[in-house]
Chain A
Amino acid sequence: MALNVLMFYLLSAVIVICSVLTITTTRILRAAFYLLCVLVATAGFYFMVDYQFMAGVQLVLYAGGIVVLIIFSILLTSHISHKFAKPEASRLIMGVLVGVSGFALSTAAILKFTFTPTTNPAMKVDMQAIGLQLLGTGKNGYVLPFEVISILLLAAMIGAIIIAKKGK
């Protein structure tokens, strides 16, 4: 078995196991850790498909930024030793039912569909190409969404500050 296939299965196993653990563990900090594992494994996927930039962003922003943020908030709002009560049965059953049926449906759809890759020659993905296209204004230029996202982030930042700051 080729190494990369092995790697794929390894990462897949990590993702599957850790995502399940994330939502089932009774300790919240562990949940955050399992989430981190999932995100890192995802970054591994990106490396596997040779998208180093995406992988970097994933690691820095997700694994680094968001998870750290979440851990912060956990520390602010919960005791480390705090354990969750088990979710009540009805909710558990409904949640699992929805999850399993949705997964089954998606899998069925994925397996049924025939994916046909394009025949065009692959594009060389390097930082320069990404940068040019992301900030490009011409064809395939993404400067407008980029700016929108910038403003969204700014707004979210201000909003977060306003919301989180102590009232008078």
Chain B
Amino acid sequence: MLQGIPITSVLIVSAFMFFAGVCGFIIRRNMITILMSIELILNAVNINMVVFNKFLFPDQLQGQFFALFIVGIAAAEASVAIALVINIYRRLNSISVDKVNEMKY
């Protein structure tokens, strides 16, 4: 409990965000939207990290650092993913995931 806000409500919000991301990942076909869904997922995790740090272990910084590193990884992932998307677009003239199944079997 922090200033009237219970930890569970924050976690529920982040869980909602997480599964909204998962849901988006599954139902969308546009690669960039899928990428955005992944950002949602990562962000939800970040919130959890920070919230655990603040609400449960205010004497440490671990949660924050994890969140920081996740942000870094997300940045790296996003840059590579976008490069891939651009490359795919150039080759297939489409960024639908349904088209990108050349290597299925």
List residues of A whose CB falls within 8 A of some B CB: 2, 4-5, 8, 12, 15-16, 19-20, 22-23, 28, 31-32, 35, 38-39, 42, 45-46, 48-51, 53-54, 57-58, 61-62, 65-66, 69-70, 72-74, 76-78, 84, 87, 91-92, 94-96, 98-100, 102-103, 106-107, 110-111, 115-118, 120-123, 125, 129-130, 133-134, 140, 142, 145, 149, 152-153, 155-157, 159-164, 166
Tell me what chain B mostly uses at the interface: helix, strand, loop, or mixed.
Answer: helix
Contact: A160 with B7, CB < 8 Å? no
Q: Which residues of B contact A152 (CB under 8 A)?
A: 72-73, 76
Are A49 and B22 in contact, CB atoms less than 8 angstroms apart?
no
A159 touches B80 (CB 8 A): yes
Q: Encode contact with A along B47-68: 1 for CB under 8 Å, 0 otherwise.
A: 1001100111111111011011
Q: Knowing that A8-B5, A38-B43, A46-B50 are A-B contacts, what are 16 other residue pairs whose CB atoms are under 8 Å apart, sorted by A's residue number?
A: A23-B37, A53-B64, A58-B46, A58-B71, A73-B82, A78-B30, A98-B19, A100-B19, A102-B18, A107-B12, A116-B56, A120-B57, A149-B72, A160-B83, A163-B80, A163-B83
A2 near B3: Cβ-Cβ < 8 Å: yes
Interface residues of B in 15-50 (CB under 8 A from A): 15-30, 32-33, 35-37, 39-40, 43, 46-47, 50
Could you show 26 A-B contacts with beta carbons less than 8 Å apart? Answer: A4-B5, A5-B3, A8-B9, A16-B13, A23-B23, A28-B33, A50-B54, A51-B50, A57-B71, A58-B71, A61-B71, A61-B75, A62-B71, A69-B78, A95-B22, A96-B23, A103-B15, A106-B12, A110-B11, A117-B55, A123-B58, A123-B60, A125-B61, A149-B73, A155-B76, A161-B83
Q: How large is the interface on B (under 10, 10 to 19, 20 to 34, 35 or more residues)?
A: 35 or more
Asked if A5 meets B5 with Cβ closer than 8 Å, knowing A66-B78, A106-B15, A134-B65, the reply is: yes
Tell me, rounded to whole Å, the shortest Cβ–Cβ distance linking A132 to chain B: 10
Contacts of A145 in B (CB 8 A): 65, 69
A102 to B61 Cα, complex, angstroms:
29
> Nearest-CB distance from B1 to chain A (Å)?
8
User: A interface, by DSSP: helix, strand, loop or mixed?
Assistant: helix
A100 to B16 Cα, complex, angstroms = 9
* CB pair B39 A35 closer than 8 Å: yes
Whole-angstrom CA separation of A39 from B39 in the bound complex: 9
State how many angstroms separate the Cβ of B25 from the closest Cβ of chain A: 8
B75 engages A31 (CB within 8 Å)? no
